[in-house]
Structure 1
Amino acid sequence: MGKIHTYIRTTMVSGLVLLISSCSNTKYLNEGEMLFTGAEVKIESDSIPRKEQKELKENLEENLTPKPNSSFLGLRPKLFFYNITKEPEKDKGLRYWMKYRLGEEPVLLQDVDREFNREILVNYAENKGYFNATASYDTISKNKKAEIHYTVNPGAQYKLGLVEYEKDTTLINTEIQKLTDKSLLQTGEPFDLDVIKAERERIDRNLKERGFYYFSPENILVQADSTVSNDHRVDLNVKLKDNTPQLAKEQFTIDKVIVFPNYSMDEVKLGRYGIPMHIDTLSGYTYENIYVVDHENKFKPKIFDRALYFKTGDLYNRSNHNLSLSRLINLGVFKFVKNEFVVSDSVNQKFDAYYLLTPRELQSLRLEALGRTNSANYAGSELNLNWTHRNIFRGAEQLKVAVFGAFDVQMGGPKDAANIFRAGANAQLSIPRIVAPFRFQSSSAFVPRTNISIGYEFMNRTELYTLNNFNASFGYVWKENERKEHDLKILDITYISPANITEKFDSISANNPFMQRIVEPQLIFGPVYSYTYTNTMLPKKNTIYYRGRLDLAGNLAGLISGGNAKEGNQKEIFDVPFSQYAKIENDFRFYHKLNDKNSIATRLIAGVAYPYGNSEYIPFSRQFFIGGSNSIRAFRARTLGPGSFDPRTLDNAFFFDQSGDIKLELNAEYRLNLFNFLNMAVFADAGNIWLVNEDPDRPGGKFSKNWLDEIAVGAGLGLRMDFSILILRLDLAMPLRVPYFEKGDRWAFDKIDFGNSDWRKDNLILNIAIGYPF
C-alpha cells in the first residue's frame, strides 16, 4: 500500500505542477501583449423571445474571429507546450512537433480586429432580417488577459410579405414558373439571406434537370423592398438578370456520346485527342450509340453502355450526368474520370458528351505483415500476399487472390493453452453486374456486383487438433444509395474436416460432448442475407448504423430429406451430416455529437440461432462469442458464458472457447478529444451469451426467465491515438458484475482492491487494438 500511496502523491504533485505551469502562460508574453481569452455577445432587445435571442447569440458568437486558444478544464495545455518549447531549427523533428503540432501559438488581443467583428455582427443580423441592427464592443483586461464583450441591438425582425416570380414568354421562364409551387420563400417567414440563396440554388438545380446545362444561380436576381408597409414586412421579386447569357437560357440535348477509356494528361499535351474534333478522325467504333476510342482494345464496350445514362437525343439532366460519373468511378478500374460537354450544334441546342477515363494499374501485388495481441493473452503475427487484377476479362471484372499465414502464441495466462497456426488461400471474382436469369434494374450510383469466392484454411491448434476449412459462395451485392446496402449470398458453403486429433484432446473431451463437437465434421450450406443502413457519413448531430443478418442453412435439403436429429434420423451428404438452422443477428449503433470535442456512442447487439430438423446443435463455427477488445472488454475473448456457467471449471485448453446460441450485448462510450490526436473514452459494456437447449456439461448455460440476472457488466477508461492513417486504441477495463459468481454476490464493487497485485492481475484487462470498437 505504501507504493500505491507514493504513486498517488507523485501523480498529484505532477498534476499540481502542470496546473500551475499551465496557469502561468502569460509570463511568456512580451511587454504590452495581452492574451485573448474569448469573446461574448449580449443581445439587448425587448421584442425578441428568449429562445430566439439564445439562438441568435450562439450564431453571432460562431462568426467571431479569431477563436481563443483551446482550453481543457480551464487550462490551456496546448499553449503551455508551445511556450515551453524552444523555436526549432527545422520544420520537422520532435521539437517542431512539440511546438507546432502538440502546441498552439498564442492568440493575442492585437490579433483581434474588433471593428471588423462589429461589422460582421451587424451584417449577420441584417442577413437574418434584423435590418436596423446596431452593435458596440468593450474590452475587459486584467493580469495580461483580455476578453471582449459585444452588445448587439437587433431591433425587430422583418417577415416576408408578397413573393412574386416575374413572368415573360421565354422557354426558361416557363420552366421557372413550374417550380414556384415548391418555393422556399413563403409569406410570413422571417427574411433570411441564406434561404434566398438556397432558393436560387433550388431553381438552378431543377433547371439543370430540364436541360439548362449552362445556367447558374447567379443568373437569378431577388429584389427586396422593405418600404411597402410599416409592419416590418419585406416584399420579394424573383427574376432573371438582364445580363443573363443567351447560352444559359438554352435547353440542350445530347448529340453524341464519346468515350476515351485510355485517356491520359500526356495525350492532351501532345494534342493526340483534340476536343472538339470530328469522330471520323478518332479511329474508334460505335456500340449502342456510344462512340468508343479504345486503340488498345482493353475494355468491352458493354461496360460503358451499362454505366452511361446518356444516349443520343436525350434531354440533358444533372442526375444522369452525376449518375454516369459515379458508376464509372465505382467500376473500380479507372483512376480518374473526367467529363466534358462541347456544343456541336448551337442552332438546335445540341452538345457532345465526352468521357475521358484514365485507367488504374490493372494488376497489383501487395505484401502485408501484421502484428496483433488480444485480451485472451495471445500475441501473434500474420503475413498476407494479395494479387489483384481489375479487368481480368476486359469487362471491369476484379479477381483477387490472397495467400496468408498466421500464428498466435499464448503469452502468460492459463498454462497449457494451445498455440494456434493458420494458413490458407482464397480467391474472389467480382463482376460489375448481376449475373442471373432475370433482368436486374438499378438506378443507383453504385454498380451492383456478382461475387464468386472460394477458399481454404488450415488451422492447427498445437497438441490438440487440426481443422481443414473449405468454403465457397455465390451471391450479389447492391446499394440503393450511399446509406443502404444489400448483400445476398444465394449459396454459402462451408465444409470443415478435422484431422490429427491428439490423444491429449481425446482424454480432455472424453466426457464432454460440447468439446467433441468442436472437431466434428461440419457441412453448412444455404443462403445468407445481410442489410446495412448507415448515415454516419453525414454531418449530423445524431447518426445511426444498423446491420442485420439472416443465415438459413440446410432448410431446403432438410425439407426434402426429412432429417430429424432428435429422433435419430439424421441425414448425411457425402457421409457428413449437414447442418440445419436459422440464425438472425442485429447490430444497431447510435452516435450523438455533443460538440466538436465530445460525443456519445452506443451499440446494441442481439442475435439468436435456432437448430432444428437435421441438427440438434448449432455448428461451433456459427455460434455466438463474447468478450475481448471489441466486445465486453472486462472479460477476455471467449471466456464469458454461456449464462451463469463458470468456464474456469473446464480444462485450461478450452478456457477460451465458450460459445452460445443467443447473444445480447450493450455498449456505451463517452468520447472526449483531449487535444490534437489524443482522445479519451469512458466506457461500460454489458451482456452475455446463452444456449437454446440444455447442456448438462455446461450447467446454467440455457436461456431462461432469469437471463437478466446473468448479465455481465464491465467498465473502464481508454486512450485512442488518432494518427489519421490508423487509430491505436488502449482500453483498460475491469469487471463490475460476474454472472458465474454465486447468486447475490455477482456485483463486484465490494471486491475492488487496486492495492492488491493479485486482484489487479485477475481483474484489470488491457485491450490493445486498432480502430474503434464500434
Structure 2
Amino acid sequence: MIKLKTSYYKIFAAFSLMLIISSCCNTKFLQEGQMLYTGAKITIKNDTLKKKEKSNLKEALQDQLRPKPNSSFLGLRPRLYIYNITKEPKKQKGIRYWLKYKIGEKPVLLGDVDREFNKKIIVNYSENKGFFNAKASSDTISKNRKASVLYTVKPGARYLISKVNFPEDSTVINSEIQNIKDKTFLKAGNPFDLDVIKAERERINEHLKNRGFYYFSPDNIIVQADSTVQKEPKVELFVKLKKNTPQISKEQFTIDKTIVFADYNIADLKLGKYGIPYNTDSVKVYNNLYIIDPQNKFKPKIFDRTLYFEKGDLYNRTDHNLSLNRLISLGVFKFVKNEFIVSDSLNHKFDAYYLLTPRPFQSLRLETLGKTNSANYTGGEINLNWTNRNFFRGAEQIKGAIYGAFDVQVGGPKDANNIIRFGANAQLSIPRIVAPFKFHSSSAYVPRTNFNIGYEFLSRTALYTLHNFNTSFGYLWKENERKEHDLKVLDVTLVAPQNVTDKYLLQIKGDDSDPNNIIPPNPSLQRVVDKQLIFGPAYSFTYTNTMLPKKNTFYYKGSVDIAGTIAGLVSGADAKAGKQKEFFNIPFSQYAKMEHDFRYYRKVNSKSSIATRAIVGIGFPYGNSVYMPYTKQFYVGGSNSIRAFRARTLGPGSYDPRKQNATFFFDQSGDIKLEFNAEYRANIYKFLNVAAFADAGNVWLVNEDPTRPGGKFSKDFAKEIAVGAGVGVRLDFSILILRLDLAIPLRIPYYEEGKRWTFDQINFGSGAWRKDNLILNIAIGYPF
C-alpha cells in the first residue's frame, strides 16, 4: 500500500515538473530579438479616489487592453507549448493541424503590443467615466526573454454632475419628454459617465416608442456637457433633441388597419414594396382584423386573442413586442414577420402587417436509445411520438406517444430482476384558459389549458406487475420570461397491481421455516403493490433568470401537491383510528407534499463557473393515509442526485439497506428530503468541459417504520447526511451534452456512528474497493 501511494506521488511530481519545464522552455522557440508578452499591469496615481473606485477603474481599464497574453494555467502555458513543439502541418487538416492551431496557441509577442494605441484607449475610457484630464504613460519590464508592460494612469479629478436641464418647447414630443424627466438616470452629484448617458437616451427612446413615436431613435437625443460655468470639476448637462432630427421622428402614429397573412410563403407569392403580397383576394374581416387565409387553416379568433393592436390605438412598442412574442409562443408558426406601412401621412396613421409562415402541422418522430445506470441496469427504450400543432384550427396542440423499454441487470451484488415497461399517453394543449371565468394575460406568452391521459404497464419479472393510469387537467401560464405557473386543477393516478408472485409475498410476510435461512417480515414492501388512488390539485411556480447574461443567476422551483383533502374531510376518514374510506373498493390517499428546489450559478470568468443546488421536500400523510403513497415519496442517489450512491439505494436516515434479506434490491424512499450539491465547471477546449463536485443529503420518514430502523427524522438528522464527491467530463456538442461523472462516497450514514467518514478507507489500489466505491454515472445534460 505504501509503495502504491509513493508511486502515485512520484507520478504526480514528475507530471508537475514536466509542466513547469515545458512552460519555461517556451522561450527557447523564440527567434532572436523576440520577447514573449506576459501581460500588462496598470498603476493608478490618484489621491482623491476611494480604494473601491480605484479598484473598479483599474479592472475596467485592464479589460480594454489589447492583445491578451497567452492563456495560462497555474502560471504555466501548456497550450503555447503544444503549439511550439508541433511541427508545421502540410495541410490545413489532420491531427497535426488540429494540435497546432486548435489545441495549441500562437505566441503573443511584445512586438504585437501597440502601447501608443493602448494609452489612447486608457485616456478615452477614463474621459468617458468623467476623468477629463487623464494622462497615461507606459514602461516595459523584461527578463529572460519575457516582457510585460506597465501602464501608469494619472486620471486627475473626476467631474461630477452639478445640474441636469431638459429645455422646454411647445412640441408634443418635448411634452412627453418633460413628463418623464423626474425619472432620469442623470442625477446631480453623481459622476459624469458616458454609459449612464447612453442608458438615459435609451430610457427616453423606450418611453417615446410607447407613446406612438415609431420612427424615433436614441440617436436623435444629444446630451451636452458644459464644464465652463464653474471652477470646480463639475459639469452641467443639457438633454435635448438634435436640431437635424427628422420630422417623421417627432410625429405620433396611430394604427389604421391590422392585416394578417396567415399562410405567408415568400416562395409562392408576388411581393410588392416592403415584401407585402400584391393580391389579397380572400380577405376576412373579424373584429377589425383583415385576415388573408385562402385555405382556412386558422380560425380568425386566434389572431383576435393574440394581437394587441386595435384600430385607432396609439402605436406602442410594448404591445408591438407582446404581439410578436405571443404569435411565436403559439408554436404553430415557423417565421413571424411584422411591417408598419404609412397609410395616411397627413393624419399620421399606418397599417400593421403580420406575415406568418406556418410550420408543418403534423410530425412523427421515432426515438431509440440504449442506457445504463448506477444500479447495474442496462437496457433500451423506443418511443414513437406524433404531434399535430393545429388540431382544431386554433393552434391547439395534440401529442400522442407510445413507448416500450426493458432493463436487464448486469452484475451487481444481488439479483434485482429485470424490468419491462410499455405505455401510451396523450396531451391536448389549448392556447387559452378554458374556464367558467375570464382570464386576461398581458404576458408575452400565451396561456395554455392542458388535458393529459396516460397508461403504463410495469413488470418486475418474477416479482410483480403494476398498471398505472393517470389523467390530469390544468393550466400553464407565464407572467414573463422569468416566472411560470403550472396549476393542475385535478391530477388523478390509479395504480393496480397484478401477478404478485410468491417470491415477493415471502419477503413481505417473512419465513422462519428454515433456521439456516430466516427471512424476517418486511411489510413496507406491501406498499409497493398496494392499490393506490390519488387525486387532488397540484401547483408549481418557477422563477429563473439564468437566460440573462449576468455574473450571478438564480433558479427556483416550488411545488405543492395536496391529495384527498376534501374527500377526507367530507367522509370523516381516519386511517389511524381504523376508519379508512374507499372509492370503488380502493382506499384513496390523503397527504400534503411540498418541495423547494434552489439553484445558484456564479461565473468565475469566461471559462469557468460554480453551480450550487439545495432541495428541501416534505410529504405528510394524514386522515385516510398512514403512509405517503410509494409513487409520491422522495428518493436520492443516481446521476442527477447524490452521485456517489446508486439510484434509490440510500436512506431512509441511518437505515442499512445491506441488512435486507430480500434476494433483490428494492427502492429506498422517504417522506422528507434534504439535498445539497456544489459543482465547479471549467471549459478546457471548445466542446470539452471538466467538473469537480460534492453532493450531500438523504431522505427520512415522518413516521416510525419497524422494518427500517433509523429511518425516522429526528434531531440527529445532521449525523445521517450522506456525502460524496468526484470529478466529471462533459462533452458539449450543442445539440446534446454527454456527461460522465465518477464519484466516491465520503460519508456513509448507515455505518456505525463515529465511523461514517471514510477518508481512511480510500484505497484506489484495491480492486475490491474500486468495485464497491467508484460509481460511474453516464447521463445526458447537466445534473442541475
Please show how residues 48-67 of structure 1 align to structure 2 within 5 Å: 48-67=49-68
Change (3 A) 1:88 1:284: farther
d(CA) in 1 for partners of 2:666, 2:35 = 61
Please show how residues 738-749 of structure 1 align to structure 2 within 5 Å: 738-749=748-759
d(CA) in 1 for partners of 2:540, 2:100 = 48
Please show how residues 379-528 of structure 1 align to structure 2 within 5 Å: 379-510=378-509, 511-528=521-538
Q: Secondary structure at the match of 2:249?
A: helix
d(CA) in 2 for partners of 1:94, 1:499 = 59
Q: Secondary structure at the match of 1:24?
A: helix
Deviation at 1:655, TM superposition (A): 2.5
Q: Secondary structure at the match of 2:267?
A: helix
Change (3 A) 1:560 1:273: farther
d(CA) in 2 for partners of 1:107, 1:402 = 56
Structure-1 residue corresponding to 2:293:
294
Q: Relative to structure 2, which stretch is displaced further, 324-333 or 551-560?
A: 551-560
Deviation at 1:440, TM superposition (A): 0.6
Deviations 1:696-740 (A, max 9, x none): 111111112222222222222233333322222222222222221
Q: Relative to structure 2, which stretch is displaced further, 746-755 or 611-620?
A: 746-755
Deviations 1:557-582 (A, max 9, x none): 22222222222222222222111111
Deviation at 1:211, TM superposition (A): 0.4
Structure-1 residue corresponding to 2:690:
680
Structure-1 residue corresponding to 2:242:
241
Structure-1 residue corresponding to 2:599:
589
Q: TM-score, normalised by structure 1?
A: 0.96
Change (3 A) 1:585 1:731: same
Please tell me whether the aligned partners of residues 326 and 445 of structure 2 are also in contact (alpha carbons under 8 angstroms): yes
Structure-2 residue corresponding to 1:541:
551
d(CA) in 1 for partners of 2:194, 2:115 = 24
Please show how residues 120-131 of structure 1 align to structure 2 within 5 Å: 120-131=121-132
Deviations 1:437-468 (A, max 9, x none): 11111000011001111111111112211111
d(CA) in 2 for partners of 1:266, 1:110 = 54
d(CA) in 2 for partners of 1:375, 1:177 = 66
Change (3 A) 1:253 1:233: same
Deviation at 1:386, TM superposition (A): 1.2
Code of the aligned partner of 1:365: L
Structure-1 residue corresponding to 2:166:
165
Given the alignment, which residue of 623, 628, 643 partners 2:638?
628
d(CA) in 1 for partners of 2:191, 2:53 = 12
Q: Relative to structure 2, which stretch is displaced further, 710-719 or 9-18?
A: 9-18
Structure-1 residue corresponding to 2:228:
227
Change (3 A) 1:631 1:350: same
Please tell me whether the aligned partners of residues 267 and 273 of structure 1 are also in contact (alpha carbons under 8 angstroms): no
Deviation at 1:276, TM superposition (A): 6.2
Please tell me whether the aligned partners of residues 560 and 595 of structure 2 are also in contact (alpha carbons under 8 angstroms): yes
Structure-2 residue corresponding to 1:326:
325
d(CA) in 1 for partners of 2:50, 2:591 = 61
Deviation at 1:403, TM superposition (A): 1.4
d(CA) in 1 for partners of 2:262, 2:188 = 52
Deviation at 1:162, TM superposition (A): 2.4
Deviation at 1:112, TM superposition (A): 2.2
Please tell me whether the aligned partners of residues 637 and 656 of structure 1 are also in contact (alpha carbons under 8 angstroms): no
Deviation at 1:206, TM superposition (A): 0.5
d(CA) in 1 for partners of 2:188, 2:667 = 68
d(CA) in 2 for partners of 1:275, 1:766 = 56
Deviation at 1:308, TM superposition (A): 0.5
Code of the aligned partner of 2:412: G
Please tell me whether the aligned partners of residues 532 and 588 of structure 2 are also in contact (alpha carbons under 8 angstroms): yes
Change (3 A) 1:276 1:368: closer
Structure-2 residue corresponding to 1:345:
344
Code of the aligned partner of 1:329: I
1:204 aligns with 2:241: no
Q: Which runs of 5+ in 2 are unaligned?
A: 510-520
Change (3 A) 1:418 1:88: farther
Deviation at 1:554, TM superposition (A): 1.4
Please tell me whether the aligned partners of residues 467 and 496 of structure 2 are also in contact (alpha carbons under 8 angstroms): yes
Please show how residues 343-382 of structure 1 align to structure 2 within 5 Å: 343-382=342-381
Deviations 1:281-321 (A, max 9, x none): 44211111110001111111111111100000000011000
Please tell me whether the aligned partners of residues 414 and 665 of structure 2 are also in contact (alpha carbons under 8 angstroms): no
Structure-2 residue corresponding to 1:105:
106
Q: Secondary structure at the match of 1:758?
A: helix
Q: Relative to structure 2, which stretch is displaced further, 414-423 or 287-296?
A: 414-423
Please show how residues 173-188 of structure 1 align to structure 2 within 5 Å: 173-188=174-189
Q: Secondary structure at the match of 1:202?
A: helix
d(CA) in 2 for partners of 1:295, 1:272 = 19
Please tell me whether the aligned partners of residues 101 and 676 of structure 1 are also in contact (alpha carbons under 8 angstroms): no
d(CA) in 2 for partners of 1:539, 1:277 = 39
Change (3 A) 1:53 1:615: same
d(CA) in 2 for partners of 1:80, 1:652 = 58
Structure-2 residue corresponding to 1:285:
284
1:556 aligns with 2:557: no
Change (3 A) 1:276 1:357: closer
For the aligned residue pairs, the C-alpha RMSD in angstroms reads 2.0
Q: Secondary structure at the match of 1:325?
A: helix
Q: Secondary structure at the match of 1:266?
A: coil
Code of the aligned partner of 1:131: F
Deviation at 1:542, TM superposition (A): 2.3
Given the alignment, which residue of 570, 578, 584 partners 2:580?
570
Given the alignment, which residue of 635, 638, 653 partners 1:643?
653
1:603 aligns with 2:613: yes
Deviations 1:101-143 (A, max 9, x none): 3233322223322211111111001111111111111222333
Code of the aligned partner of 2:170: T
Given the alignment, which residue of 694, 698, 702 partners 1:692?
702
Structure-1 residue corresponding to 2:39:
38
d(CA) in 2 for partners of 1:655, 1:505 = 12
Given the alignment, which residue of 757, 763, 769 partners 2:773?
763
Deviation at 1:623, TM superposition (A): 0.7
Please tell me whether the aligned partners of residues 648 and 655 of structure 1 are also in contact (alpha carbons under 8 angstroms): no
Please tell me whether the aligned partners of residues 747 and 758 of structure 2 are also in contact (alpha carbons under 8 angstroms): yes
Change (3 A) 1:528 1:97: farther
Deviation at 1:11, TM superposition (A): 4.7
Deviation at 1:599, TM superposition (A): 2.7
Structure-2 residue corresponding to 1:114:
115
d(CA) in 1 for partners of 2:337, 2:701 = 56
Deviation at 1:359, TM superposition (A): 1.0
Q: Secondary structure at the match of 1:490?
A: strand
Change (3 A) 1:94 1:358: farther
Structure-2 residue corresponding to 1:529:
539
Q: Secondary structure at the match of 1:26?
A: helix
d(CA) in 1 for partners of 2:290, 2:585 = 57
Please tell me whether the aligned partners of residues 102 and 676 of structure 1 are also in contact (alpha carbons under 8 angstroms): no
Please tell me whether the aligned partners of residues 414 and 664 of structure 2 are also in contact (alpha carbons under 8 angstroms): no
Deviation at 1:770, TM superposition (A): 2.0
Please tell me whether the aligned partners of residues 257 and 290 of structure 1 are also in contact (alpha carbons under 8 angstroms): yes
d(CA) in 2 for partners of 1:273, 1:397 = 34
Code of the aligned partner of 1:739: P
Please tell me whether the aligned partners of residues 449 and 477 of structure 1 are also in contact (alpha carbons under 8 angstroms): yes
Change (3 A) 1:761 1:596: same
Deviations 1:373-404 (A, max 9, x none): 22212222222111111111110111111111
d(CA) in 2 for partners of 1:276, 1:728 = 45
d(CA) in 2 for partners of 1:22, 1:334 = 55
d(CA) in 2 for partners of 1:408, 1:92 = 42
